[in-house]
Each structure stands twice: as structure tokens, then as C-alpha cells.
Amino acid sequence: MLTQVPRYHGWSLFGLLSLLVLLMTGLILLLNPDLVEATRSAIRATARTSFALFLAAFTASALAVLVPSPFTRSLVRERRFIGLAFAFSHLVHAILIYSYGQLNPEFWPGRTTVGNIPGSVGYLFILLMALTSFKTTARLIGPKPWKALHVSGMWVLAAVFTYSNFKRIPMSAWYVLPFGLMFSAIVIRLLGKIALKYKRSVRNALLTE
């Protein structure tokens, strides 16, 4: 007798993704005897989980248009909860950065106000998008402002991720990979937009015949 594998969706998917982020962070902190180095490692790890979750949310609608399948349609259906899991992962990331600043007094003085602007703007949009990802708050601001906030927010975050990875390439060639992934995601999203417009124009043309 075959046992059906439980499928995570909605809040259960958010809970699973958030739990995995917490487990990963906890293991990194527990297994490294040097707390300062462990916190740095956890910061890098949560940056990667946030990046992966953002890529999934950012490309979901485009992939559903370009490569229609049950998986890409489920990405679109669960995009809100993937986005909230991204916000949670980045919250953990922010807490770790603050903790690292407390453990290493040289960290904050070594950063400039200008250097902090992209990340601060990114976090502002993450907060606003997370707060308006619920039916009550979405209804309060209305459909047009909601769409404007979330579309512009996704592009701002895409720009922040692109810039953050690009500026680190001279430090390590490894950053070419996330920069390339983010650039590819932007291309995919733009192609999805073009493909959707084309499909709509063809459908409208057929209806008017």
C-alpha cells in the first residue's frame, strides 16, 4: 500500500522553510566553538537562504508563463508564503548582523553611512511588503498601491542583491555565481513579462476576429 507524501503549502510551507532556516542557524552556532566566527558563518548562510527564497519568489510568475508545469504553477500559488519565508530568513540575518556587531566592536565603525544605504532600503521594502502580505492590510491600502509597492519592492531587492554580489566579486570570484544567478533571474522575469503580453495580444486578436 502506497503512502501519500504530505505536501506543504500555505502556512505549513512557511513554517517548514522558517524552521529549516532556524535549524541551520542553530547548528552553525552550536558546532563552531568560536562564537564570533560562528556568527559570521551564520550570517553568510542566512544570506544564501534569503537569496534562494527571493529568487524563487522573484521568478515564479515568469517561470509559470515560460515553462508551464505543475511545479511552476505551485510556485506562483505559494509565492506569498515563499516571500514571507524570505522575510523571516532576512530577519534572522539582521539579528545575526546585530549580534556580530556586539561581539566585534570594530564591525560598525568600519562601515560607512553610504555603504549601509542599499541594505537599509532593502530592509524597508522587505518590512513593507511583509506587512502588506496579509488580506487585511492589503485591503487597507487597496489593489493599485499594493501592486505598485510589491512590484517596485521586488525590483529594488533585485537591484540590491545584484549590486551586493557584484561589488564583492573583487574580494572572491565565488560571487560571480550569485551575481550571474541574479542577472539570469532578471532576464527570466523580463522575458516572462514579454511572453505574457504576447499571449494576451494573441488572445485579444482571436477574440476580435
pLDDT at 48: 96
CB 12 within 8 A of CB 85: no
The answer to the question of residue 200 being in a domain is yes
4 part of a folded domain? no
Flag whether 156 is in a domain.
yes
Residue 79 domain-assigned (yes or no) = yes
How much of the chain exceeds pLDDT 70, in percent? Answer: 94
Q: Is the pLDDT of residue 68 over 50?
A: yes
Per-residue pLDDT tens digits for 27-55? 999 999 999 999 999 999 999 999 999 99
105-109, 180-184, 205-209 — which one is most confidently predicted on average?
Answer: 180-184
Please give the pLDDT value at position 207.
Answer: 63
- Can you give the pLDDT at residue 123? 95
User: In whole numbers, what is the pLDDT of the chain averaged over residues?
Assistant: 91
Residue range 169-181: average pLDDT?
Answer: 94
In a domain, 6, yes or no: no
Q: 59 with 188: CB under 8 angstroms?
A: yes
Q: Supply the pLDDT for residue 151.
A: 95
Q: Is the predicted pLDDT of residue 1 greater than 50, yes or no?
A: no
| Mean pLDDT computed over 155-179 | 94
Asked if the model's pLDDT at residue 205 lies above 80, the reply is no
Q: Is residue 80 part of a domain?
A: yes
Query: Residue 60: inside a domain, yes or no?
Result: yes
Digit-coded pLDDT (tens) for 88-99: 999 999 999 999
Q: What is the Cα–Cα distance from 175 to 48, expressed in whole angstroms?
A: 11
pLDDT at residue 24 greater than cutoff 70? yes
User: What confidence score (pLDDT) does residue 3 get?
Assistant: 43
Hey, what amino acid is at 197?
A: K
Q: Domain for residue 97, yes or no?
A: yes
- In this prediction, residues 202-209 reach a mean pLDDT of 66
Instruction: State which residues form the domain around 34.
Output: 11-208
**Number of domains forming the structure of the chain:** 1
DSSP state of 173: G
74 vs 95: CA distance, rounded Å: 31
- The letter for the amino acid at 199 is K
- Residue 34 · residue 103 · CB < 8 Å: no
Report phi then psi at 160, rounded to 5. -65, -45
Give the span between the Cα atoms of 155 and 147, in whole angstroms: 12
What is the model's pLDDT at position 200? 77
pLDDT the model gives residue 125: 95
